Amino acid sequence: MTVMADPVVREEHAAAVGDSPRRRPPRRGRRQWAPLWLLTPAGLVMGVVTVVPIVLLVLISVTDYDQRSLFTGAFAFVGFEQYAAIFTDSDFWWSLVRTIVFTVAMVVGSVAVGMGVAQLMTRLGTVMRYVVTVVLICAWAMPNVASSLVWNWLFQPGYGVVNWLLTQLRVFGDMTDVAWSQHPLLSATSIWALIVWQAVPFIALTLYAAQVQVPQEYYEAARLDGASEWTVYRSITLVFLRPTLLLITILSIIWDYNVFNQIWLISQGGPDATTTTLGIFTYKTAFVGFDLGGGAAISVVTTLILLVLTAVYIRNLVRSGEDL
């Protein structure tokens, strides 16, 4: 309706004409170059570090680049042959399935444990809370290569502490000689444990920060009404945590989809390709077998899959009116 539009139009017009002394509007036809100059260094770095490798990746994926090409520079364009080879390779499809299963397991594990730890921290006294925070940060700050190597020694058959501990429990029998990285399910479990252990601190601290924002009156009111703790958590905490939880889930999906170091250092994709996710499969194809064209094609497909997943998720978020 025109009546409603007027104040808005008048405001914009006023701003454009320059009634307010604070803003000097740009004259028509004169661009402002200062912001662009300031952005150039960062833009250049981003371009070189991000854009050029992506362009090169796509270019390599349409060639037959291999070890010989690395040494002599000779290669040929083969069109979409590499992509056709991937889609007919059962190893690729199995890697994709493993990646999805692994990612879901890791995201569910880390978010669930993270939510639990965040809830725990709201109930702790000040001193214990500080202790828990410091411990969480130490776990999170440890470089994942160092933690993978330590994990290897923890789960070492014969000398590993974990095997000894589990044997002491007297529930699983004698676990001293169990080789975690050589047993399909056990290697996946130890890798899952490592990744969840290092993912939980970030999730827990972020959720804790969000949880302390929840106004206490809601809790008091709910408890006065006689709600059980589970109902309180479900109806109040989760509702307020929803935006943060959704953001954390997207981030976790992206990070866990791309996990490489931990898997490579613990099991190298074995045993028998059980832990060969798409990242490991790409590395093995491109840098162990030196089929760089094929590896590049797998990388492009992997990135597109993740892009599609994330786009669908964000589109749903935006449609449902949530803030990102």
Partner 1 sequence: MRTTRFATAGALSIAAVFALASCSGSGAAAGPDGGPLVVPTTKAEGESLTVWVMEGDYQDATLEAINDAFTEQTGAEVDLQIQQWDGITTKISTALSTSTPPDVIDIGNTQVSGYAANGGLLDLTAYEDDLMQGATWLTGLEEPARIDGLLYAVPGFAGTRAVIYNTAMWAEAGVTEIPTTYEELTAALDAVAAQHTEADFSPFYFPGQYWQSSMQFVWDAGGEIAVDSDGTWTGGFSTPEAQQGLEEFVEFQNTYSTGASATLDNITPDQNQLFADGKTSALLNTGGGIAGIKKANPAITDDMLGTFPFPGRSGEQQPAMLGGSVWGIAAKSQHSDLALQWAKIAGSPKMQEEYVFGVDGWIPNSVEAVEAAQESGLTEQQAGFFAAALVSKATPAAADWPTIEGDKSIAEFFGSIASGAKSPADAAKAFDAHLEDVLNG
Give CA–CA dist 153/34, Å, rounded: 55
Nearest CA to 274 out of 184, 189, 190 is that of 184
- The residues, any chain, with a CB within 8 Å of residue 282's CB and separated by 6 or more, are 295, 298, 299, 302
Give CA–CA dist 64/295, Å, rounded: 10
Please tell me whether residue 73 binds partner 1 under the rule CB under 8 A. yes
Which CB sits closer to partner 1, 14 or 56?
56
Judge whether 166 and 204 are in contact, CB under 8 Å: no
Exposure class string for 4-16: b at 16+ Cβ within 10 A, else e: eeeeeeeeeeeee
CB of 250 to partner 1, least distance (A): 26
What's the farthest any 2 CA atoms get from each other in the chain? 83
Please tell me whether residue 159 binds partner 1 under the rule CB under 8 A. yes
CB of 259 to partner 1, least distance (A): 18
Give CA–CA dist 234/44, Å, rounded: 47
Give CA–CA dist 65/75, Å, rounded: 6
In the set 2, 32, 72, 216, which binds partner 1 (CB under 8 A)? 72
Please tell me whether residue 32 binds partner 1 under the rule CB under 8 A. no
In the set 16, 39, 52, 124, which binds partner 1 (CB under 8 A)? 52
In the set 122, 258, 268, 310, which binds partner 1 (CB under 8 A)? 268
In the set 11, 116, 172, 182, which binds partner 1 (CB under 8 A)? 182
In the set 242, 289, 308, 315, which binds partner 1 (CB under 8 A)? 289
CB of 120 to partner 1, least distance (A): 37
**In the complex, which residues of this chain contact partner 1 (CB under 8 A)?**
47, 51-52, 55-56, 59, 66-68, 70-75, 152, 156-159, 176-177, 179, 181-183, 268, 270-272, 284, 287-290
